[in-house]
Amino acid sequence: MIIHIVRHAEAIERTPEVPEEHRYLTRRGRRRFRKAAKSLATLGIEPDLILTSPLVRAVQTADILAERLRYKRELIVTTQLSPGFRPEKHDELLKLYPQVSEVALVGHEPDLGLVTQALLGEELSLTLPKGGTVSFKRSAGGGEPQFQQLVTGTGRIVTARGKAIDRLRQGS
């Protein structure tokens, strides 16, 4: 299975007037993520399934991703990817979709950084940049996930594992 872990793009700042779950993408966030999603399309990413957190900013990010990848199915909104998603829930979520060979998970920090840290077997904390995607390949029998690439929130492709980890430690 190929797993793409996607952090939502830049959203409006927290304010008392806008509830957390209603925060939406900024114009800059949408523009930058379109570039990032174009890079993902260039890499030939073709998910069978796109799962997203129900929060507005994640759904908007997933929608841009689906559009750029010419994804023909419906997005699946799941509360499991809401803030609070933890690495131990990752496998449980994927087991719900045994027929899927390539999946994109759209969610939030610090959750996705923790999942990425666990998949990479890293001890130091990692942070996905806003609009960033990190991809892994896992064999059907489980085993160690193989890092494939990091696509930054501005569309830069990083294929060297060490360089990707350095960027993820910096959160950029």
Confidence of residue 93 (pLDDT cuts 50, 70, 90): very high
Contacts of residue 168, Cβ cutoff 8 Å, sequence gap at least 6: 113, 116, 126, 127, 128, 134, 150
Confidence of residue 97 (pLDDT cuts 50, 70, 90): very high
- pLDDT tens-digit profile of 4-13? 999 999 999 9
* Residue listed under structure tokens 């793409």: 4
The amino acid sitting at 55 is: L
Q: What is the pTM of this model?
A: 0.96
| DSSP class of 152 | -
| DSSP class of 80 | G
Closest CA to 107 of 128, 136, 138: 128
Q: What is the average pLDDT across 117-141?
A: 92
Q: How much is the mean pLDDT over the chain?
A: 94
Task: Quickly count: other Cβ atoms within 10 Å of residue 26's Cβ.
Answer: 16
CATH number of 2-170: 3.40.50.1240
What are the boundaries of each domain within the chain?
2-170
Tokens representing 96 are: 């719900």
pLDDT at position 46 over 70: yes
* Residue listed under structure tokens 């904390």: 125
Confidence of residue 143 (pLDDT cuts 50, 70, 90): confident
Tokens representing 74 are: 């419906």
- Give the strand pairing for 157-158 and 142-151: antiparallel
Closest CA to 52 of 36, 73, 35: 73
**Strand, coil or helix: 113:** helix
Q: What is the average pLDDT across 126-151?
A: 91
The pLDDT assigned to 171 comes to 72
The pLDDT assigned to 123 comes to 92
Name the percent of the chain lying above pLDDT 90. Answer: 88
Q: Is 140 exposed, middle or buried, given 0-12, 13-18 or 19+ CB atoms closer than 10 A?
A: exposed
Q: Is 73 exposed, middle or buried, given 0-12, 13-18 or 19+ CB atoms closer than 10 A?
A: exposed
| DSSP class of 73 | S
- pLDDT tens-digit profile of 60-89? 999 999 999 999 999 999 999 999 999 999
Q: What is the average pLDDT across 27-53?
A: 97
Confidence of residue 36 (pLDDT cuts 50, 70, 90): very high
